[in-house]
Every structure is written in C-alpha cells, then in structure tokens.
Amino acid sequence: MKVIIIGGGWAGCAASITAKKAGAEVHIYEKTDMLLGLGNVGGIMRNNGRFTASEELIAMGAGDLISLADKNATHTNIDFPNHKHATFYNVNTMESLVREYLENKGVNVHTTKRVVDIEKSNNKIKGIYLHDGDFVDGDVFIETTGSTGPMGNCLKYGNGCCMCVLRCPAFGPRVSITKKAGLEDIMCQRENGKFGAFSGSCKLAKESLSEEIRNELNNKGVVILKIPEKDINLDKLNDKVCQQYAFKEFAENIILLDTGHAKLMTPYYDLKKLRNVKGLENVRFVDPYAGSKGNSIRYLSSARRDNSMKVLDIDNLFCAGEKSGFFIGHTEAIATGSIAGHNAVRFLYNMNPVVLPEETAIGNLISYANYMLNVKKDYKTRYTFAGSVYFERMQELGIYSIDKNKIREKIKSFGLEDIFSKKLI
Amino acid sequence: MKYEGFTCMDAGTDYCPCHLAETGDCIICSMLQGKNECNCNNWCSTCIYNDYISNGEKVKEKRQYYEGQIIEKEYVSDTVIIFKIKTSYSLVKELALPGSFIFIKHSKSDSYYEIPLSVMNISLNDNIIELAIEIKGPKTNKIDELDKDDAVLLRGPYWNGIMGIKYIDEISHSNVITIAKGIHQAPLVSVIKYLNSNNNDIYTFLDTGRIKKIFIEDHLDKSTEKYFETNILTKDMLSIQFKNMLLDYIDKIKPSLIFCAGSDLINNNVLQLIKNTSHEIKFACTNNSKMSCGEGICGCCTLMNNDFKLRRLCKMQTDPEFILQGRLIY
C-alpha cells in the first residue's frame, strides 16, 4: 500500500507521519533540496487560536511536528500586537530536525524530485511523472504542493520573482497536480479583486541590525520600531496574505520577531526607506532576497475537496495545506496534512474517513472554509486560527481555549484521542 | 510508461521570447499560451514569461542576416558540393555545437530560396563555416550557380538540428556508434568531433547512398576508432548485412549511445532495433523536419503523430522516440 505525497512542506510532512503511523509505505516527493517549503522562513506557532489547534493535534496523536517546533523554539509565550502566547521556532535549524524525524519514522523522502505530471485512468491516478521522465506508481496520492508561485504567477499577480526560499529558477516551478488531473484550481482574490495575495513577511539578517535592536530581539523575541510618518502606507495591508497581521499597528510600526532571522511583518519594504529607521541603517534582506521589490504570490491553486480532505472528482487524491483552501500558517498546514495522511490510508483499506466534528477548532476551520467558498462564494477571505475572521469565530463559538486539559477532554469526549497515532490494520 | 519532457532549443537564448510568445503559441509557457496560471512542467531553467514582460511585452531580437563570401567550392561528387564560407565571428562562434544550422541563399535571390543547412564544420580562427549541399531542386540549383568569391546571405544561428541532443551532450568516456547515409554525412561531422573531444570511442557505419562518395574521410580518420561502409537499407528495411553488423557491434562494444543521421525511416528502424536488444542505449538522431522560417511561424516543421500533440520541431527538443513513433508515413 503505497502513499505518494507531492510537496514536502509542513502539510506534506504532517501527512507523511499520520500515513506512516496508520501503516502505509510513504513517499514524499519535494522539488527543492529541503523539506518544509515556506516553513523555512516562517516560524510562528501557537499564537491565538493556533494554541488550541496545536493541543488538539497533540491530543489526537498527531502532535509530532508541534512538539518538534516547541523543542526548537527561540522564544515561547510571546505577545505582540493583536497576538498572544506565540512560540517562535528557529527557522535555521528546523528543517534538518524534521527530515531526521521523518526518516527515522521510515518515511521515504525524495528531495530535488519535481513532479511534473500524472498518469490517470478514468478518475483514478495511476502514478506521477518526475521532471527527469521517471514514472512512480502509487495507490493513493496526497497533493500538498501549496499555492505559492511559481514565477509566472508572482509576475502576473505580484511584482515578479523576488527570489524567495522556494527558489523556482533553480529547482523548477511548482506544478498543480489537480490541474494536471483536469480540474480547475480555485483562485483567491484580494479586496480590490486582484487574484492572489503577497506572502506576509520578509526576513532580515539579524547581524545587519544595530547591536541594541539585535540584543532586544534576542532577549524579548519582539521589537517594535516606529515608522517615520511620511513612510506609512496603510494600503499595503490589503495586499497581504496574512489578514491576521493586517492591522494598523503593522503599518505604522516595524514589527520584528526573532525566528532565527529578524522576521519583518510586512510583505516587502523599500530598503532605502527601511534604512531610515533608527537601528536599521545597515539592514539587508535574507528572504526574499529582493524584499525591497515584492514577495511571493499565493492562493492561486486551491482544490475543491470534502471535509475528509479528499479532492472532489478524483477517486484517490487527497489534499492539504494551502492546496486545500485559503489557509494561512504552519499549524493549519500540519492540521490539514495530518487528516489527509490518515484518511488516505483509510481510503486504501476501504474504511470510512475521519471527519473532525465542528466543535473542534480544526474540524470547524476545515468545514467553515469549505462552506464559505462553496455556499457563500467567498473568494476573498483567508482562514487561520491566529486571527482575523476565523479567530473571531473561534471566540464567538467558544472553541478557543488555552487550557490543555480541557482541550484533551474535549477530544476524548468525541472518541478522537490518539486517533491519528493508531495503526489501522 | 515514458513521459515526454521536452524543452525549447531557443529558451533562455538571445532569441527568447520569440514570435510565438506574441502569438500565444510559446511551446513552453502556459502564461504565454493565454492561460491564467503558471503551470510549467517543461521547465527550461528560465521564466520566459518574466523575460517577455521585462522586455516590454515584445519579442527579443530577430535572427539576423550575415554576409558571407565563398572562399572555396568543391564538387565532391556529381551532385554534392562543399562550400567554405567566410563570415562574421558573431555567427561562427554560435555554430560550434552539434545540431547547429543556418539558412543560406544567394545574396541576390528572394527569401523563398533560403535553404536550411547543417553546419558541417567551423573554424573559429578564420571565421569559416563548411557546408555540404546535395543538388536536388530549384533552391539548391540556385546555390550551385554560386562560385568562389560570390556573396551569400546567412540567417542564423539555429540549433535544433538533432533530436536527443542532451544524450550527446552528457556522454563521456564511453563507446558510441554513429550511423549516416548519403548527405547526412554532413551533420555527422560536428557530432563525432564533439563526442571525440569528450573522450568517447566512436564506431561509424556509413552508407554513401546515391551520392556514392564518402566526403568526410578526414574527420572520420581523426575522430573515430573505426568506420565501415555498408548498405543500410534494402526495400525500406534495414539490410540483413547492416543489421547483423550493428547487432554484433552492440554486443561487442556495448555502446552507451547510438547517433543516427539518416532519413526518419532509417532512424526509426535503428531505434526499434535498439529497443529490441537487452542493452540500455541512448538514442539521438537528425531532425529531418522540413523548415522554412525556422521560427515556428510558417508551420512547415509541425508534426502531429497518433498522440495528436502538435510539435513545432524547429524549436522543440524532445526524445526522438516521440518524433519517430506513431507515424503513418515516413
């Protein structure tokens, strides 16, 4: 029983773990030389409702990656504008830890292997083609290729390739598997109706900050600096993916978070203007390298799916992460990925899929995003436990909690405790 | 199952994006085919859409005409002439690799008379290119009117004269078999020279065909281990004699690559023969499609096999298998 996962970001890694735990042979195919995708420049966990979702995953037996990120944290329990109790992991050391963990679990990790097409018979995928022409067959497939880039999208819907960590020019562009299967991908819109949205942060080399700011960042995890009045641009908030960070405070201030790099919470920033800020006189970008010009464009390639994460109209294809909806963040990717991995194996054994109840944060997010897209035809809202529309909903419904015992009890009451860590057969 | 991963021979060069970008027919880029999303499975290490937009949504420069002067004209048989032509260094340096070709015409002729010709040999020190022409019809007769010191116009450079060029490019310290018939000796020269420079041992089978003459002896002597003259075809089939010799040599030297410079009929027969052996051998062959503009516009080079994919062979670099198989006529 062979599970093929296409895309080695957080979602693909999470899917590989639950699929492996459920008892399958698991292969991840990743186009770059590293797992985690944009997780290599992310780093924010457990802020606001993500805490609840993280604890739900742990209670359901899919907390492996959450625990790894916790162990690799640079800072824990950090508050910054509109966000509480965040954990920041060190992006510079995370990937190798995850890779080692997956390989020790027996997951077959294939990096620098770009999937370019599929072989399909009726509504069933038979196998995938790699960029070098090799064919790999499989029984069930999970698409976690994300929705970022490639360059054509970054150019048509953004400011062009800004050389982000995905490194499309070197490793080749992402290919949408659902598109190759003959389905139409769903494209997200910004407030002004333009398609796609900018990735929400860029990263500065810590060494290029003034000593004073660097020390403060290392000690506190957060530094907030005032932007000169003439440089404030509130319009830019509409362009960014991360609606949870689209607040006035983020436009009026430079907010730096310590994720190994100094994470600057804005999609892009003119370097000359950035250097006008006290303490940033010598600053430079490390991701994207052309952070003055723009950032990667996302949300142009989501699939239609059901709440078990199975792609509609293809018998043996599941999806997770940004591929499965307009979700933002690592926790969201890990949550959807864990479900997709587990349900892919259930599919192989002809078992009913797990669909999480709407009383859980994860189950609610997954079904709410589907409802808003398919019933309300809302192509503009993005969903995250960490803020904006969905965190407000979590609070209204009383789903948000930071009480670990209470969260575990709730999961237990639905009979879901450790469900993802059990071997199915 | 085999996947046709193809590239564009012009991608990333001075001539990309080309006219096909403007007409919505770029063979690589989904965005330039008028689609809304970037879904590039045949990645050529460059974003053609980015190049197009950053060039002001215009094609890059067109291939130019270069003036040339005939410095030598030699009849090597009744119907085959070898020309040595002195021309610009800018053109000659671009024609060094196997598969390079140019369009040539008498400087006073109309553009209808342009002939695509493989570059047989170049000399970078003297800015000379060597071409072999078989006199066949109106275009070649017009070229035959030219004499030493006459002026010609050369349009180029073009590079897609060989299908499976990557196999020739990547092979070193191996045994290689090359096969050529008739005027196809001309494109063989740059191939054996290149393979030889990468420390390969080359064994060549030649059929002089209707021109009844080996005109590349010097090159064969310098670059190959051994060469044999034989009859390749008997009534549209590989001759028994050639087939046995080839199979013997495959068993004996275990080649990593076979390059076939012949008609598509020969190329396909050799490809099928290789596939039926137990050896894993890469296969490359000449691109025999008819060409007029060389830019994918005129449609002369388009091919549609029984998989109903339209291939523009002046640009598309693919595995020969996809060109040769699934055809009704050769």
The whole-angstrom separation of Cα B28 and Cα B11 is 9
The whole-angstrom separation of Cα A286 and Cα A40 is 12
Cβ atoms of residues B86 and B128 within 8 Å: yes
Chain A residues with CB under 8 Å of B53 CB are: 155, 160
Write down the pTM of the prediction: 0.86
Residue A379 token pair: 């192509």
Chain A nearest CA to B207, separation (Å): 34
Per-residue pLDDT at A171: 92
Q: Helix/strand/coil (H, E, C) string of B249-286?
A: HHHHHCCCEEEEECCHHHHHHHHHHHHCCCCCCEEEEE
Interface residue B66 vs chain A (CB under 8 A):
no
Candidates A129, A157, A183: best to mutate against B (most CBs of B within 10 A) is A129
pLDDT at A241 over 70: no
Chain A residues with CB under 8 Å of B54 CB are: 160
| A246-259: pLDDT as tens digits | 777 788 899 999 99
Chain B nearest CA to A155, separation (Å): 7
The domains of chain B, with CATH numbers, are 64-158 (2.40.30.10), 162-288 (3.40.50.80)
Chain B nearest CA to A131, separation (Å): 7
Contact criterion met (CB < 8 Å) for B47 and A176: no
The whole-angstrom separation of Cα B207 and Cα B238 is 12
Nearest CA in chain A to B2: A133
Q: What average pLDDT does the segment A157-183 reach?
A: 93
| pLDDT cut 70: percent of chain A above it | 98
**Least CB-CB distance to B5: which of A131, A155, A169?**
A131
| A304-328: pLDDT as tens digits | 999 999 999 999 999 999 999 999 9
Nearest CA in chain A to B39: A175
The whole-angstrom separation of Cα A320 and Cα A318 is 7
Per-residue pLDDT at B1: 54
Contacts (Cβ under 8 Å, ≥6 apart) of A258: A74, A75, A88, A206, A217, A218, A221, A222
Contact criterion met (CB < 8 Å) for A187 and B37: yes
Per-residue pLDDT at B131: 97
Contact criterion met (CB < 8 Å) for A151 and B49: yes
**Least CB-CB distance to B50: which of A151, A185, A301?**
A151
Q: Which of A361, A228, A285 is nearest to A41 (CA)?
A: A285
**Least CB-CB distance to A151: which of B36, B38, B41?**
B38
Q: What average pLDDT does the segment A368-374 reach?
A: 95
Give the three-state DSSP class for A207: helix
Cβ atoms of residues A145 and A298 within 8 Å: no
B141 or A235: whose pLDDT is higher?
B141
Interface residue B53 vs chain A (CB under 8 A):
yes
Contact criterion met (CB < 8 Å) for B50 and A152: yes
Residue A353 token pair: 């899929």
| A140-168: pLDDT as tens digits | 999 999 999 898 889 888 998 999 999 99
* Window 161-220 of B, Cβ < 8 Å to A: none
Cβ atoms of residues A246 and A26 within 8 Å: no
The tens-digit pLDDT sequence of chain B (330 residues) is: 578 999 999 998 989 999 999 999 999 999 999 988 888 889 888 899 988 988 889 998 889 999 999 999 999 999 999 999 999 999 999 999 999 999 999 999 999 999 999 999 999 999 999 999 999 999 999 999 999 999 999 999 999 999 999 999 999 999 999 999 999 999 999 999 999 999 999 999 999 999 999 999 999 999 999 999 999 999 889 999 999 999 999 999 999 999 999 999 999 999 999 999 999 999 999 999 999 999 999 999 999 988 888 999 999 999 999 999 888 665
Contact criterion met (CB < 8 Å) for A161 and B36: no
**Least CB-CB distance to B29: which of A117, A152, A179?**
A152
Cβ atoms of residues A5 and A12 within 8 Å: yes
Chain A nearest CA to B52, separation (Å): 11
Interface ipTM: 0.72
Per-residue pLDDT at A193: 75
| A52-69: pLDDT as tens digits | 999 999 999 999 999 999
Number of H helices, E strands in chain A: 14, 18
Nearest CA in chain A to B29: A152
| A260-269: pLDDT as tens digits | 999 999 999 9
